[in-house]
Amino acid sequence: MKPGTIHYRHEHKRMQLLLQHSLANYLRKFAGIIGVSIIAPETVNKHGNLLEFCVYVKNKINKQFLPTDQLLPRFYEGIRVRVEEVPVRYPGSPVMRGGMSIANDSIINGLTRAGTLGCIGRNMRNNQIVALTNWHVLFCGTSGIGSKIYSPVPTFTGTPPQVVEGVDLIGNVADGIITNKVDCGIVNIDTSWCRTSGVDWADEIPSLNAGTPPFDGIVSLGQAVDNDPVVIVGRRSGRVTGRIRSINASVNAPYTAVSDSRVAHTNGNFNAHFISQIEIEPTGGAISFGQLGDSGAVLINMRNELVGLMYSFPPAGQPGTGVACHINEVIDALRTRNIDFSPNFTNRPQGTGTSRGAVIHLPPEHAPAPLTWTSLQPQLNAHATSRKFMHAVEEFRRETVMLVNSCRPVTVAWQRNNGPGWMAALIRSIQEPHYSLPEKIKGTTLETLLVKMNETLQTHGSEALKQRLQNLSPEIIGAFKEARNFNEFIHALNHSSE
């Protein structure tokens, strides 16, 4: 069963009907379920299913601690059921990728109007991590510049997403613009040091599967070309393939419930006329190139080049073409709003992904409260050496993450020595005091990572960072050599000068 085929579409429709008429009610008898959705797994599972039900729970609990009547079935009507925790690394840190659902908190006609996060990038004027989407996704209802943007967990059919502060909140509206050539907007992602607090992100669009060999990343900007095969990943349609019919189309598009006072409208409604647009016809058996809800998806060609930004689709259930604005026009328009947008590129054969440590799921009454960096500060502050370490982290975290993400030698050192994997292990060690750090991750020791990063940062960092590393790095590396977890590291660090 391949995406876009009649069988695939029929299976998707069958699953939608099951979700609406039976599965949602059936799942309500299970405790702790937040929502359910239809997903396309990254790889075909061993049962040959390209589509699965994904049930979201607040905490996954080991089966041995659950009563029999609370065990979820592995299959429902022959369709595999996957169980996932709320997709956050830890409270307050959803992992943002292209193709995800985003929305403000405005309720329009009883519903939250959601769109698609196109891709992750950076505002080069201030080095802020941002997300690209449409103006009309951000400026609808009562939203405006600075308004909060969420990535809500999918909910049961028929109910609007219930956003949760600190879990679903991903950032705020930076700005957006609509002209006769573009409909584009930018979200400032709430990030912090080395993706260990705030919102995590990944430079990938899961299921994109473009190029040769196929992978889920963007390698560069490109130009739309007539008859070129292209692909999008939208929050509603998932992966859709198409072919460019025109690169100079004229389009009329109705807009409703907009909130940008800089745009002339009547009670939030107006008709926009666009020129020089990209028109895309569906391929692979799909009846339309995208659907309402896919607004904000990025248009990618088979060379993994970003060529456009989707914003217009046929009415629900009707065949037709999708429309995108040219990416060079998007970038030029955003510059008029003081945003110098650049997508995060990758030349690797696979998307960067995000490393995570495995989670030990305990029954709620026995599960320890997760530790955080903030909760460790009193312990770090109790001794002069660990206090110097804490102050160094707070002083240089922004510079360090900037170098990791934008200075190629530092990026190479971080990735080649499994920095993301070791960061995930350290986070788990902070959250789970009894967790022991592994000796190696993919053949690399923590000492090797620390030595290589120390060398690279002392070459490419600021003079202040170099000086601090010269003073502290021997003690830090030595303390981690003796430690099996983060608590032991603090203890060893505080006794290194005795």
Integer CA distances (angstroms), 232 to 177, 290, 298, in order: 22, 8, 6
Whether residue 273 lies inside any domain: the answer is no
Highest mean pLDDT pick, 134-148, 150-164, 204-218, 341-355: 134-148
Highest mean pLDDT pick, 50-59, 71-80, 187-196: 71-80
Instruction: Provide the pLDDT confidence category of residue 88 given band limits of 50, 70 and 90.
Output: very low
What does the angle CA 165 – CA 167 – CA 171 come to, to the nearest 5 degrees? 70
pLDDT for position 354:
32
Whether residue 225 lies inside any domain: the answer is no
Quick one: average pLDDT of 285-310? 93
Query: How does 427-465 read in b/e, with b if 16+ C-beta sit within 10 Å?
Result: bbbbbbeebebeeebeebbbeebbebbbebbeeebeeeb
**Can you give the three-state secondary structure of 294-307, one letter per residue?**
CCCCEEEECCCEEE
Whether residue 109 lies inside any domain: the answer is no
pLDDT for position 107:
60
Spatial separation of the C-alpha atoms in residues 114 and 164, rounded to whole Å: 15
Does residue 116 contact residue 296 with C-beta atoms inside 8 Å? yes
- End position of a domain, from candidates 30, 56, 85: 85
Return the structure tokens found at 402. 């900037």
DSSP tag of 365? G
For the stretch 276-297, pLDDT in tens is 999 999 998 888 999 988 999 9
pLDDT for position 413:
87
Give every CB contact of residue 199 below 8 A, 6+ residues apart in sequence. 92, 93, 94, 95, 96, 170, 171, 189, 190, 191
Percent of the chain residues past pLDDT 70, beyond the cut: 75
Residue 353: is its pLDDT beyond 70? Answer: no
> Phi first, then psi: what are they for 2, rounded to 5°?
-105, 150
Residue 87: is its pLDDT beyond 70? Answer: no
Name beta bridge partners: 300.
231, 306
The residue assigned the tokens 């647009």 is 277
Quick one: average pLDDT of 214-235? 91
Spatial separation of the C-alpha atoms in residues 305 and 359, rounded to whole Å: 36
C-alpha radius of gyration, the chain, whole number: 24
Spatial separation of the C-alpha atoms in residues 210 and 306, rounded to whole Å: 11
Whether residue 320 lies inside any domain: the answer is no
Whether residue 257 lies inside any domain: the answer is no
Instruction: Provide the pLDDT confidence category of residue 85 given band limits of 50, 70 and 90.
Output: low
For the stretch 175-202, pLDDT in tens is 999 999 999 999 998 764 333 334 567 7
pLDDT for position 312:
93
Does residue 423 contact residue 417 with C-beta atoms inside 8 Å? no
Written as one letter, the residue type at 158 is G
pTM of the model: 0.54
Whether residue 129 lies inside any domain: the answer is no
Q: What is the CATH number of the domain that holds 48?
A: 3.30.300
Whether residue 431 lies inside any domain: the answer is yes
Instruction: Provide the pLDDT confidence category of residue 224 given band limits of 50, 70 and 90.
Output: very high
For the stretch 389-404, pLDDT in tens is 777 777 777 778 778 7
Whether residue 434 lies inside any domain: the answer is yes
- End position of a domain, from candidates 85, 116, 133: 85
Quick one: average pLDDT of 84-88? 55
Percent of the chain residues past pLDDT 90, beyond the cut: 26
Residue 230: is its pLDDT beyond 50? Answer: yes
Number of domains the chain is built from: 2
CA nearest neighbour of 97 among 127, 123, 118: 118
Could you tell me the residue range of the domain that residue 398 belongs to? 368-495
